[in-house]
Amino acid sequence: MQVQIVEHPLAAARLTTLRDKTTGNAGFRAALSSLTQMLVYEALSSAKSAVVEIETPLQPYTGSRLECAPLLVPVLRAGVGMVDQALAMVPEAHVGFVGIARDEETAQPVPYLESLPDDLSGFPVFVLDPMLATGGSMLHTIELLVARNATDITAVCVVAAPEGVAALADSGHPVRLVVASVDDGLNEAAYIVPGLGDAGDRQFGPR
Does residue 102 interact with ligand PRP by CB under 6 A?
Answer: yes
Catalytic machinery residues: 102, 106, 198, 201
C-alpha atoms less than 13 angstroms from C-alpha of 135 in its C-beta half-sphere: 20
Residue 193 bridge partners (DSSP):
185
Residue 98 bridge partners (DSSP):
75, 114
Does residue 198 interact with ligand URA by CB under 6 A?
Answer: yes
Residue 178 or 199 with smaller CB distance to ligand URA:
199
From the list 4, 101, 162, 174, which residue makes contact with ligand PRP (rule: CB under 6 A)? Answer: 101
User: Which residues, numbered 130-159, are part of the site for ligand URA (CB under 6 A)?
Assistant: 131, 133
CB 153 within 8 A of CB 145: yes
Does residue 190 interact with ligand PRP by CB under 6 A?
Answer: yes
Q: What are phi and psi of 86, to 5 degrees?
A: -65, -40
- The terminus-to-terminus CA distance of the chain in angstroms comes to 33
C-alpha atoms less than 13 angstroms from C-alpha of 123 in its C-beta half-sphere: 23
Give the DSSP H/E element, type plus range, for residue 38. Answer: helix 25-43
Quote the least distance from Cβ 125 to ligand URA, whole Å.
21
From the list 32, 164, 175, 177, which residue makes contact with ligand PRP (rule: CB under 6 A)? Answer: 164
**Residues engaged in binding ligand PRP (CB under 6 A):** 75, 77-78, 100-102, 107, 109, 129-138, 164, 190, 198-200, 207
**Residues engaged in binding ligand URA (CB under 6 A):** 78, 131, 133, 191-192, 195, 198-200
